[in-house]
A and B are shown apart, each in its own frame.
Chain A
Amino acid sequence: ETGVTQSPTHLIKTRGQQVTLRCSSQSGHNTVSWYQQALGQGPQFIFQYYREEENGRGNFPPRFSGLQFPNYSSELNVNALELDDSALYLCASPDGSTGELFFGEGSRLTVL
């Protein structure tokens, strides 16, 4: 039990569609980061939110956007889906006292 939950666990979309992935963490995790893990690769940093504002971004286009809410839950939105967006999307939050990063189980997105 990491205290970080993600939904949905699996979903299938078609090219050009939009998708919203969700992440919730136990209270106290006011920082959330999102990663994309393509098959056979390590996770790639998408962006990080701290107190509802984006405060770090990796090399991803603007069609990847996010939100963080006052209850520290978070969303990752991807517009105009492309085939290469097929991946496991991971959400992570650090433990408030140790800084250890806890990951959710991920949302596996397939784009057809």
Chain B
Amino acid sequence: DQQVKQNSPSLSVQEGRISILNCDYTNSMFDYFLWYKKYPAEGPTFLISISSIKDKNEDGRFTVFLNKSAKHLSLHIVPSQPGDSAVYFCAASHPSNYQLIWGAGTKLIIKP
């Protein structure tokens, strides 16, 4: 039972345009959401997070939006750059335990 879902295995975007990566979750008790970026042969690196008490968090080119009623979050990257090409994972945490629940990832390809 996947509690965190990233339904797009891959996404291709033109350099300079906006990249939008989506993530859906099923557990309404999740209180914290994170996006990680992973390059081949490297571990995931933290990108941006959002608490369930907010609906938007922005950090430079990266913005995460949270829609609690729809149990949906999205990561916007604008403008997209070639170095953004990577696999992006959405993860969620529950206040009562220690583990992160991860989506399967979306491979983002930025075309020059």
Contacts and interface: CB of A to CB of B under 8 A. Distances in A.
Interface of A: 2, 4, 6, 33, 35, 40-45, 48, 55-56, 58, 90, 92, 100-106
Interface of B: 4, 6, 9, 34, 41-46, 89, 91, 97-105
Contacts of A42: 4, 6, 89, 91, 102-105
A40 B91 CA distance: 15
B42 A105 contact: yes
A33 B43 contact: no
Contacts of A105: 41-43
A101 B46 contact: yes
A90 B43 contact: yes
Contacts of A6: 43
Contacts of A40: 9, 104-105
21 contacts: A2-B43, A2-B45, A33-B99, A40-B105, A41-B104, A42-B6, A42-B91, A42-B104, A43-B44, A43-B89, A43-B100, A45-B101, A55-B98, A56-B98, A101-B34, A101-B46, A101-B100, A103-B43, A103-B44, A104-B43, A105-B43
B40 to A, nearest CB: 10
A42 B98 CA distance: 17
